């Protein structure tokens, strides 16, 4: 199988590490070769963060380059737009519609761009946008945005929902399990 590419983007501190851990665990169980590339250090301090997840028969490069991502999973609306150049032609964006102002917007140096979802669709991206924060809160924790997004992403994979749920059970501490399983179900819809 040709290597498939999933990019997870967001704002440092939003919990993208659990999302990539879940994907890595699941895809390895499915028998694929997998590589996951993370960002640590300075950019975690509220900066724009990227995680690459690649899987297939044999994966070489740990990173995803422009025009290569089959999926972009975004924790924040503007971050989805920032990484559009990485999307493969006809690729899919799964994004949270939450907007978090970066420092240049806070200081008034620039404005938060408007109507981003429409603009992304005009560029040929298939966009699946949803208010993940509200769904996460409905599940019981605003921190479960990552699992809501994974729930939505799971719709586009041939892997049965139970396998995803088993992966969540394996990786999440018991006391957060119920919240996360609910978040997954709400995201999957």
Partner 1 sequence: MKELMLGNKALARGLYEAGCSVASSYPGTPSTEVTEEIAKYRDIYSEWAPNEKVAMETAYGAALAGKRSMCAMKHVGMNVAADPMYTASYTGVNAGMVIVVADDAGMHSSQNEQDSRHHAIASKLPMLEPSDSAEAIAFAKAAYGISEAYDTPVIIKMCTRIAHSQSVVETGERVCPQQKPYEKNPAKYLMTPANAIRRHPIVEERTKALVQLGNECMFGDIRLNRIEWAEDRDLPGEDVPNAPMPVEEGMGRIGVICDSTCYQYVKEVYGDSIDVLKIGLVNPLPTTLIKDFAASVDEVWVIEELDPIIENHCRMMGIQVHGKDILPMEMEYSQNLLREAMGMDVPASAALEEAIPPRPPVMCAGCPHRGLFYTLHQHNVRVMGDIGCYTLGGAPPLFAMDNNLCMGASVSMLHGFNKACGKESEQNTVAVIGDSTFLHSGMTSLADIAYNRSNSTVIILDNSITGMTGHQQNPATGFDIHGDPAGRIDLESLVRSMGIDRVRVVDPYDLAQCDEAITQELAAEAPSVIISRRPCALLKTVGGQKVVHSRPLVNDPAKCVGCKSCMRIGCPAISMKEKKAVIDRTQCIGCGVCQQLCRFDALVSGS
Contact residues: partner 1, CB under 8 A: 11-12, 24-25, 28, 33-48, 59-63, 65-68, 78-79, 81-82, 84-89, 101-113, 116, 119-120, 123-125, 142
Q: Are the beta carbons of 168 and 175 closer than 8 angstroms?
A: no
Shortest distance (Å) from residue 39 CB to partner 1 = 7
Let me know how long the chain is.
189
Neighbours of 103 (CB within 10 A): 10
How far is Cα 110 from Cα 107, in angstroms, rounded to an integer? 8
Cβ closer to partner 1: 45 or 175?
A: 45
Contact 185, 162 (CB under 8 A): no
Query: Toward partner 1, which CB reaches closer, 97 or 185?
Result: 97
As a whole number of angstroms, the distance between CA 77 and CA 19 comes to: 17
CA distance 6 to 22: 12
Q: Tell me whether residue 1 or residue 42 sits nearer to partner 1 (CB atom).
A: 42
Q: How far is the CB of 66 from partner 1 (least distance, A)?
A: 5
Q: Give the integer Cα–Cα distance in Å for 168 and 39.
A: 22
Q: What angle do CA 49, 54, 56 make, to 5 degrees?
A: 175
- What is the nearest approach in angstroms of partner 1 to the Cβ of residue 186? 19
Q: Select 91 or 151, whichever has its Cβ closest to partner 1.
A: 91
Nearer to partner 1, 27 or 147 (CB): 27
């Amino acid at each position: 199988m040709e290597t498939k590419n999933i990019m997870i983007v967001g704002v440092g501190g939003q919990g993208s590490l659990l999302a990539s851990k879940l994907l890595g665990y699941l895809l390895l169980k499915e028998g694929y070769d997998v590589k996951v590339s993370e960002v640590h250090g300075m950019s975690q301090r509220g900066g724009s963060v990227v995680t690459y997840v690649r899987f297939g028969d044999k994966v070489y490069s740990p990173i995803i380059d422009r025009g290569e991502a089959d999926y972009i999973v975004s924790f924040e609306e503007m971050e989805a737009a920032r990484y559009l150049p990485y999307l493969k032609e006809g690729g899919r964006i799964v994004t949270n519609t939450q907007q978090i102002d970066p420092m240049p917007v806070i200081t008034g140096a620039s404005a938060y761009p408007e109507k981003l979802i429409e603009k992304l669709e005009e560029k040929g991206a298939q966009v699946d946008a949803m208010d993940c924060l509200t769904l996460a809160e409905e599940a019981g924790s605003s921190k479960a945005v990552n699992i809501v997004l994974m729930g939505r992403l799971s719709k586009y994979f041939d892997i049965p929902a139970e396998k995803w749920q088993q992966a969540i059970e394996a990786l999440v501490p018991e006391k957060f399990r119920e919240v996360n399983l609910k978040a997954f179900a709400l995201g999957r819809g």
